[in-house]
Structure 1
Amino acid sequence: MKYWKGIEELESAPEFMQSAFAEFMPVKESHESNDATSAPRRDFLKLMGFGVGAAVLASCETPVRKAIPYLNKPEEVDPSISNFYASTYFTGSDYNAVLVKARDGRPIKLEGNPESPITRGGLSARAQAAVLSLYDGGRLQNFAIKGQKADVKQVDQEIRSKLAATTGRIAIVSPTIISPSTKKAIAEFAARYPSTTHVMYDAQSATGLLQANSGVVPGYDFSKANVIVSLGADFLGTWISPVEYARQYVVNRKVSTDKRTMSRHFQFETAMSLTGTNADVRVPIKPSELAATTLAIYNFVVNGTAIGEVFSAKEAGGKSDPRNAKLQTAAQELKNSGSTGLVVSGSNDPAVQALVTAINQALGNAGTTISAAQSNVRQGDDARMAALVNDMNNGSVGAVIFYNANPVFNHPLGSKVKSGIAKVPLTISLNDRLDETGSLCQYAAPDNHWLESWNDFEPKAGYLSLSQPVITPLFTTRQAQESLLKWAGNNTTYYKYLRANWRGITPTDAAWDKVVHDGVATGTALPTATAMTPMSAAAAASQLSGAAKPSDTIELALYEKVGLSADGCGANNPFLQELPDPISKATWGNYIAVPHAMAVAKKWEQNDVVKVTANGYSIELPVLIQPGQANGTVGIALGYGRTLAGKAGDKVGENAAPLAMTTNGIQYMNTVTLEKTSSTSPIAQTQTHQTLMDRRPVVQENSLANYKKDPKKVTEYEKISTPDGLEAPEKVSLWQDYQYNNHHWGMAVDLNSCIGCGSCVVGCQTENNIAVVGKQQVINRREMHWMRIDRYYSSDTHKDSFETKGKLSTYAAMEDPSENPQVIHQPMMCQHCNHAPCETVCPVLATTHSTEGLNQMTYNRCIGTRYCANNCPYKVRRFNWFSYYSNDKFEIVNGHMFTDLGRMVLNPDVTVRARGVMEKCSFCVQRIQLGKLEAKKQKRRPMDGEIVTACAQSCPTEAIVFGDMKDPNSRISKLLRREDGERAFHSLASINVQPNVTYLTKIRNSESEFFAPEVEEKA
């Protein structure tokens, strides 16, 4: 088994070999140097747009009746003490129940709400980063008429007057709304203006799924599934409710001494997705092959028809395509599973979804893997939106109100929406900024940020949650619901309106206070969804059987990234832009993902710019050679290419939404033509920046079959033979062993539970004041994340050497190992080694070992020699090349005071690092100290679970366990005792640095048997 991080490492490309073990890469660009004054202006302009001035003014202008005078302060509010408030994060597609951490009235961090029965304390990367958007200076800070600042009363008066005079249809356009009170406010507006219609659309549409299930999104329960077949649904990354599904999914993926069974997961998809990397069996298919795949499974499960030759490959030489055997296995195991089987599909084709529904019904999984509580997200209707666009262009719409909707950018018919807006007499934007759609509207009445707002939500039938304001509005904005009510003649505040609407659920003030405190409740308040007549399975099968067969044309698959949503609403959030994609490890922009075979055939190199054309629309993007991308296809991420998002998000990547097919609803696929240009554009990737020590075991995995045979043999422990009587070399050390008399902090990471979603990376960043550095600095290998998710590809077939022509390899008489590799994700942070190599080489004792097992950094002692980074085998130490948070030449040259962003999101419990200082994971020592002090005040030891690191707290799958290894009753102690001799191992154990981070070997339930492998970082 060979492990590799990318094509360049697989092929031992000269560029990779030159820099693989260079700890500090020299900056080659002529416009770059280590001098701050020469940093390029454009890169760091992307990080700007977040202002502190407005927040200061907001606190000064706060009405006295709402102020909290500290001379007579509430008992629970103390300076320097954090308060937590339950709230809800929802942007039209992503739902997370959250706890907002506020310090002196300033929100600084989001945590998952453990009271939520849906997200159960987990949090997505997008939700983790959402607190930063509160302080976004790109938000519209006042009401406006034709882009110019206007008085609120004047805007209200003119809008009411024009609405009353409107003779045509009035349309409210929004993404999916799951708020019962908001829908009631819209209904009240419609009662005042009877010609009003409310049209919802989603940038990543699920209309096909709705049509196949009578207008609702089914509730899924992956925790009860023994066999999962996913047909292009990235349910762990972006599909419907990934945080909820991820927690369910790992229930049947964890193994232990007492549980030696796992679910089996088959994934059929085009582009390598987060879900695909976690599958036991992954089958790359073209988008056009999805229909035939679904039909074959349907015919086998429902009608008992043999699978046959669904796939055919020209290179198979007359032999059956190996994908046929995998499809047969998937269908057979699914049929055998009965009610514990589950099929899901990410297709937006109603016929495909109709067959998926029929398969699930045939399995009899209603009440098991299909739950009664349907999801209320993704309620957008493609047909209604397309009809509205046509009506706008033919002049039958008299007024249109855009409520947090930006269809000019994120809808495939965006150009028609733009032309239609110009033909509508009255256009109003409730969006938070003058974005691509709002800038075309006559009036702007910007909505509050969700952290400044009251609202309610019903993400699933019977499950409710609330959001509450945790700060006074920073700008002159107003809740969109309140604007609609005011224009309808109702002058009540939205809080009073919301409270009145909840009287039936919380009739008493005590009941209301409890819901506000908990953030969640049970009950149903949304109106019944509009019923849709589903296509019959027979009609769907007939339609798909007559579908066009795959041709030699290149097919495009459009997808959504884990970090940036398809609607582009997070584009101006630097935390999300700099979050490495879990698969490609790319930051700051999208690209064309192409399979290795296509790159070889067309003689494309990574970073070559290629022109993509479909629907008469063209974009130019750099090539990224992506292992696992289906042959004959390319993939492009949606959500990029904003032009009016803000300084961080503008002109980052290209907008791929117009490339989608708009026949039969919106289909996120198309046939495209590709044309290489003469340009190149570097992609800012991180996956090969930290190359670990050569030929050492870093990550381990094995098969479930081997685990069942002998759990103690699935993990490799390197043994070095020595003459009798001599101690093994790996046990010889220059260090004296530490004695931990009080606490010994440690961490365990279960690789079976880690799905690689990156939530922990952003959680660590917001908790520990980690700087954003920009695209060029990422290219220069200067990213600052304390925690990274290493993504390793592996394959059974490989060659130790490759024939090369130029920079591209050809694989003679063998399967290309990059065609469909397996993937494993490994969180990597400071290992807090008991025999830490960094500690011995620091000339000023800036890095030392604590009496509780922590590797500490004393920042004001560090002089930046970087010896410790050079000596760290895990490459987890970061050097501050610039003073990212201070007002020096670096920020002045870039035209903005970067400190504004830092000041608003800084955690005052964590030191802000200066230029020339090393930094790295501290195991969230500030949280450890707080927990110890709270316990000390109560004259006791900290209880297990009271002290949790930011990464462990954010993990939706509970893959990370942190605690005191001196406490025999702690979770980590019990876990390590249970796994001792089975799956527990230390990364790079043979060098005997004795880390305090333990990993548990990944177990796969795959059809192939293979030996217990080792990671080899080959130089």
Structure 2
Amino acid sequence: MKDNNKVFWKGVEELGNSPEFVKNAQNEFPEFLPLKNSSEESNGTDRRDFLKLLGFSVAAVSLAACEAPVKKAIPYLNKPEEIEPGIANYYASTFVDGGEYCSVLVKTREGRPIKIEGNKLSSVTKGGTNGRVQASVLSLYDTARIQGPLIKGAAATWADLDKQVGVQLGAIAATGGNIRIVSPTILSPTTKKAIAAFKAKYPSTEHVQYDANSSYGILKANQTSFGQAVIPSYDFSKAEVIVGFGADFLGTWISPIEFVSQYADTRRLSKTKKTMSQHFQFETALSLTGSNADYRQPIKPSQEGLFIAELYNKIVSSKVSTTPVKNDVLDKAAAALLKASNRGKSLVVSGSNDVNVQILVNEINLALGNYGTTISLATPSFQKQGNDEAMNTFINDAVAGKVNAVIFYGSNPVFDHARGAELAKALSSVSLTVSFADRVDETAALTKFVAPDHHYLEAWGDAEPRAGFYSLGQPSISPIFKTRAAQESLLLWSGNSGDYYEFLKSNWISSILGGASWDQALQDGVFEPKNKSGVEVTASSFDRSAVEAGIIKNYPANTSGIELKLYEKIGLGTGSQANNPWLQELPDPISKATWDNYVAVSASYAKANALEQGDRVAVKSANYSVELPVLIQPGQAGNTVSIAIGYGRTHVGKCGDGVGKNVYPFARFVDGSVLDFVTGVSVTKLGGDKYPIAQTQTHHTLMARPIIQDALLSEYINDPSAGRFKPTVSTPDGKKAPALVDIWKDQHHQPNHLWSMSIDLNTCLGCGACVIACQAENNVPVVGKKEVLNAREMHWIRIDRYYSSDAEPTKTGEYFTSDAEGIGYGTLEIPSENPQVTFQPMMCQHCNHAPCETVCPVAATTHSSEGLNQMTYNRCIGTRYCANNCPYKVRRFNWFKYFDNEEKFDKNVAMNTSLGRMVLNPDVTVRSRGVMEKCSFCVQKIQEGKLKAKKEKRHIVDGEVTTACAAACATGAILFGDLRDVEGKVYQERNVHNPERTYTVLEELNVQPNITYLTKIRNISKA
């Protein structure tokens, strides 16, 4: 689509205007795209045949869809004091998955956790969440979890397991045998104390921590530079210049929930703030962070060390002798960093796990005066404590038969470590093997004892994500299965009391609270003492010649061949929640792909090697190979390929098993660290049919109309309305414009409330937390890969990702535009190797002149007196006229009973069980087959807020009522409120702070949406 002399496009299909894309874009009922060996038949049905069916069998289906399931109301015989039927309870708790951390509030209904919210009392996560945190509530109800202890794969009692483990531990300790506890990063100070108690009982025990996506290079570099083996805390909110090298700090690097909030503060603009940070990103694969950068430079992984060395030489007076790099973006970044006004107000970060690279990053930040402002070692982060060298030594010892007992605590190294296959073979020779896994995962399947741990929503716990910043976790439901806290197991085996709650409380009172109230800390969920110790660094030391040698060795000046980059996806992460269908079906922010990993290649590489989307290829290194489909990804560095970790699970559950391929074994152990890239790989095209990748990016195309409105910061400063597209209506001769004619009844006289939303494209970073939050709050079904391929995903809110280019398109072949002579099959030739990216949340716009309302034959969709476009489910007969007439393509049709346990939806098992249904929100109707659904502005939350205010005889306070998407957004990009409240945030945003930037999508249609957007502003110098 073209707007403001810019070309916007959603994906390679739209860019190339391929026949398949054109056919699907024009097809009201997209043709079914079966998977290989699928028995499903095509259901491409033309409109005439559909109307015939509507008059016969589909009519019967529509009537059946109106039948509500039988419900039984069973009263409490002895009602718990804290539970009021129909009233939600909230419990402060803590989400921890390895080093990933978030302080949360758990919403429960009748004792069932059903929704996760962010805890605004935390100064670390500040009420933000991400998709994995939001989806974690569904993992609680996963039937793949172990329902009790196992001995050699058979069900056992806790007494038998404790007896046998205790006897073997005693025998091993008596002979001085080596015992290892292997875990990911442990954030819990009390868990560390329990491990210490275990080590006191068995002195030959060593605790080995490793991270599936390691940051050990930073730990080791800080030990070298400053004598502290810790990760510093970063504050992006104080940075006016940000330079990133392969660090996806908005997506997966160290503490993204914390960082996105800080970063958004630097990108927010208003009448009183017309400055924003300038962000430079150098990376191989197009990441969430790179897609939000002002300047992005694709580089090969083997070039990262040279680029950072070159930046070091430009910033620091004492040089390192490495091969010089010439790059315009690097020159701009160096100039911005060296600007006198930016001293102490910049930040350089790298995602490299190479200690030599990280030492140079330390020196750059020190020279720029960033320590003590944007970066701090006085209050270090504890979110990455994994030691690659210790883990490597453990595997060497296990292979050599030197380990007598190993306890896997929250870890699965057989799957998520590069040497997992070696460890798998070695475990058979270890006398005692125990796993605390919640399921028989790849590692637990090879252990003799499985002592399943609780889900975090069933357990007591705590965390210290940053020095001096504590949080508590408490159970919001009794254990569903016969599981036991891992800490209790360690305490029992070490001869202590097994009551972990008392152990936790005692530790907090004696070591953390310092006289503060335990009850208050438990209620708040966080405890952050005001007086925090720590001294900031002012000097460093390192062996320059050793760093030079390391850079020269690992980053040669001229590399040939293909390089493979491994990366972590926003949704699936490292794969620990791979059996969660919400995460599997969450479209990746960049590729918009679901249910798979793939080999991302650049368009130039694909063209040079005759590769097309979906072609199957074999990627092979010296020691490992996988076969995966190709995905053509704009922004991918030339002569490189990227593959996501976290896929290829074989023992996680029906939903996640067999999805994608495991690529952890590609990682290399170099100079004491695990590196996530491989040079000299081969990519070989395989024969056979193409593999369908379930992408959503072009399912709901808006057909070449102006959607995104953007401008440069310099243009915005001169003209706050810069970038705004103002539709005009005029006669062909350019004379007086005709008056607009409305066919709708005026909807502008809502007497009490007018619920509205404002979305800032500058601070929407595209993470997708809102998508999962909406899914959890509104009982949005999962449909599975087959249905996604059929363009039938059900998400009420989607994050549209647009690429853009300033280049004019070159048309080749027989090409026609969509608004002139029709659509042809030519090609748009646009430079697409490194496009700009814009994210736009898109949901029902709640139009005051809603086109859907005028075409519904049964008035199932209507307009409320408070500005809401309503759906009456039991009136809808499924004509889909409303969907056809919606210009935003935001309405979803239930083709099947997606919540039923039908065999065809084989991946939706986590919610197709009686246990999985416990996550459903009782305040929201579960829709059935033949019914249309879409965003309701979380009307149930609106009603709850109104009733509460009425009961207390007051008006609703701004911010008291919000939607699930707005509550989940860590950046505050989505504002929801009552437009009738002139002091409210939405009114202020539109009419006071950013009136010139405010626009509605497809304004020329005059449908008058209640959702407005703020133009995207980029801090880029004009050429």
Q: So what's the TM-score if we normalise by structure 2? A: 0.90
Tell me which amino acid in the other structure corresponds to 2:556: A
Q: 1:728 to 1:846 in 2, by over 3 A?
A: farther
For 1:387, give the aligned amino acid. T
Deviates more, 1:502-511 or 1:465-474: 502-511
Residue 666 (1) aligns with residue 666 (2): no
Quickly say closer, same or farther: Cα 1:724–1:966, change in 2 above 3 A: farther
Deviation string, structure 1 residues 459-483 (Cα, Å, up to 9, x no partner): 0011000000011101111000000
Whether the aligned pair in 1 keeps the contact of 2:655 and 2:910 (CA below 8 Å) is: no
Alpha-carbon distance, 1:886 to partner? 3.6
Residue of structure 2 in register with 1:316 after alignment: none
Distance 2:352 2:146 in 1: 36
User: Which residue, 780, 791, 802 being the options, matches 1:781?
Assistant: 791
Displacement, 1:348? 0.3
The whole-number CA distance in structure 1 between the counterparts of 2:328 and 2:734 is: 54
* Residue of structure 1 equivalent to 2:948: 934
Match of 1:769 among 736, 760, 779: 779
**Gap change, CA 1:506 and 1:409, over 3 Å in 2:** closer
1:354 alignment counterpart: 359
**SS of alignment partner, residue 246 of structure 1:** helix
1:517 maps to 523
* Secondary structure of 1:801's aligned partner: strand
Is structure 2 residue 732 aligned with structure 1 residue 732?
A: no
CA shift at 1:1006, angstroms? 1.2
3-state SS of 2:837 partner: strand
Q: Which moved more, 1:660-669 or 1:853-862?
A: 660-669
Whether the aligned pair in 2 keeps the contact of 1:697 and 1:989 (CA below 8 Å) is no
TM superposition shift of 1:888: 6.6
Change (3 A) 1:897 1:569: closer
Cα deviation 1:296-342 (Å, max 9, x = unaligned): 0001100277999955xxxxxxxxx7xx1111111111122221111
| Displacement of 1:890 | 6.0
Contact 2:597 2:647 in 1 (8 A): yes
Q: How far apart, in 2, do the equivalents of 1:527 and 1:647 lie? A: 48
SS across alignment from 1:689? coil
Corresponding residue of 1:63 = none
The one-letter code sitting in structure 2 at the alignment partner of 1:196 is T
Q: Per the alignment, do residues 809 and 2 of structure 1 end up closer, same or farther by CA in structure 2, a change over 3 Å counting?
A: same
Are 1:457 and 2:471 matched, yes or no?
Answer: no
Q: Does 1:717 align with 2:726?
A: yes
Q: Is 1:343–2:353 an aligned residue pair?
A: no
Are 1:403 and 2:413 counterparts?
A: no
From 854, 861, 873, the counterpart of 1:859: 873
**Equivalences for residues 271-350 of structure 1 within 5 A:** 271-303=285-317, 310-311=324-325, 324-336=327-339, 337-350=342-355
**Which residue number corresponds to residue 681 of structure 1?**
691
Paired letter, 1:571: A
Partner Cα distance (1:525, 1:256) in 2: 34
AA aligned to 1:421 is L
CA 1:526–1:400 in 2, change beyond 3 Å: closer, same or farther? Answer: farther
Deviation at 1:728, TM superposition (A): 4.5
* Aligned residue in 2 for 1:911: 925
Match of 1:1004 in 2: 1018
User: What residue is the counterpart of 1:557 in the other structure?
Assistant: 565
Moved more, 721-730 or 386-395: 721-730
Tell me, in whole angstroms, the C-alpha distance in 2 between the residues paired with 1:897 and 1:873. 32
Residue 378 of structure 1 and its aligned partner are, at CA, apart by 1.0
Q: 1:1008 offset after TM fit, Å?
A: 3.4
The aligned counterpart of 2:16 is 11
Instruction: State whether structure 2 residue 599 is matched by structure 1 residue 592.
Output: yes
Q: Does 1:441 align with 2:441?
A: no
Q: Is the 8 A contact 2:141 2:910 kept in 1?
A: no
SS at match of 1:339: coil
Distance 1:389 1:305, change over 3 A: closer
Aligned residue in 1 for 2:587: 580
Mark the runs of 5 or more structure 2 residues left unpaired by the alignment: 1-5, 45-73, 224-228, 816-823
Determine which of 150, 157, 160 is the counterpart of 2:156.
150
Matched with 1:52 is none
Alpha-carbon distance change, 808 to 648 in structure 1, aligned in 2, over 3 angstroms? farther
CA distance in 1, matches of 2:416, 2:155: 26
CA RMSD in angstroms comes to 2.7
Tell me the CA shift for residue 817 of structure 1: 1.5
**Distance of 2:919 and 2:759 partners within structure 1:** 28
2:106 maps to which of 100, 104, 120: 100
- Work out whether residues 710 and 1015 of structure 2, in 8 Å CA contact, stay in contact via their aligned partners in 1: yes
1:196 counterpart residue number:
205
Distance in 1 between residues matched to 2:893 and 2:582, nearest whole Å? 19
Query: Among 181, 200, 214, which residue is 1:172 paired with?
Result: 181
Provide closer, same or farther for how the CA distance between residues 210 and 730 of structure 1 changes in structure 2, counting only shifts above 3 A. farther
Q: 1:990 and 2:1004 equivalent? A: yes
Question: Contact 1:600–1:808 at 8 Å: present in 2 too?
Answer: no
Residues 652 and 423 (structure 1 numbering): CA distance in 2 closer, same or farther, change over 3 Å?
A: same
Q: Deviations over 1:573-618 (max 9, x none)?
A: 0000000000000000100000001110111110111001113211
Q: Which secondary structure state, in structure 2, belongs to the residue aligned with residue 662 of structure 1?
A: strand
1:186 maps to which residue?
A: 195
Aligned ranges 1:814-833 → 2 under 5 Å: 817-833=831-847
Aligned length: 959
More displaced 10-residue stretch of structure 1: 896-905 or 470-479: 896-905
Change (3 A) 1:505 1:80: farther
* Structure 2 counterpart of 1:56: none
Partner of residue 759 from structure 2, selected from 734, 749, 753: 749
Q: Distance in 2 between matches of 1:668 and 1:864?
A: 49
- 1:820-857 alpha-carbon deviations (Å, 9 max, x no partner): 00000000000000111100110110000001100000
Q: Can you list the C-alpha shifts for 1:159-218, whole angstroms capped at 9, x where unaligned?
A: 010001113210000000011100000011000000000000000000001111121001
Distance, in Å, in 2 between the alignment partners of 1:79 and 1:461 is 41
Shift of 1:20: 1.4
1:134 is the counterpart of 2:140: yes
Q: Does the 8 Å contact 1:375/1:459 carry over to 2?
A: yes
C-alpha deviation, 1:790, in angstroms: 0.1
Q: CA deviation at 1:409?
A: 0.3
Deviation at 1:541, TM superposition (A): 3.4
Residue type of the alignment partner of 1:995: P
The answer to whether the 8 Å contact 2:16/2:828 transfers is no
Partners of 1:986 and 1:730 lie apart in 2 by 20
Moved more, 172-181 or 363-372: 363-372
Question: Judging changes above 3 Å, is the alpha-carbon distance between structure 1 residues 711 and 559 closer, same or farther for their aligned structure 2 residues?
Answer: same
Partner of residue 57, structure 2 = none
**CA pair 413-615 structure 1, distance change in 2 beyond 3 A:** farther
Query: Quick one: distance in 1 between partners of 2:828 and 2:694?
Result: 28
Aligned counterparts of 2:625 and 2:424: Cα–Cα separation in 1: 18
Distance 2:28 2:964 in 1: 28
Shift, 1:34, TM fit: 8.0
Is the 2:581–2:907 contact (alpha carbons within 8 Å) kept by the matching residues of 1? no
Residue 637 (structure 2) aligns with: 630
What runs of 5+ residues in structure 1 fail to find an aligned partner? 37-59, 61-67, 312-320, 1010-1019
Q: Is the 8 A contact 1:307 1:328 kept in 2?
A: no
SS at match of 1:785: coil
How far does the alpha carbon of each residue in 1:693-717 deviate from its partner, in whole angstroms, 9 at most, with x for none? x332111111000001111333221
Distance 2:197 2:718 in 1: 65
| Sequence identity (%) | 54
Q: 1:940 to 1:347 in 2, by over 3 A?
A: same
1:427 to 2:436 alignment: no
Tell me if structure 1 keeps the 8 A contact 2:17–2:826. Answer: no
* 8 A contact 1:295–1:545 mirrored in 2: no
SS at 2:832 equivalent = coil
CA 1:376 to 1:939, structure 2 compared with 1: closer, same or farther past 3 Å?
A: same
Quick one: distance in 1 between partners of 2:957 and 2:909? 49
1:220 and 2:234 matched:
yes
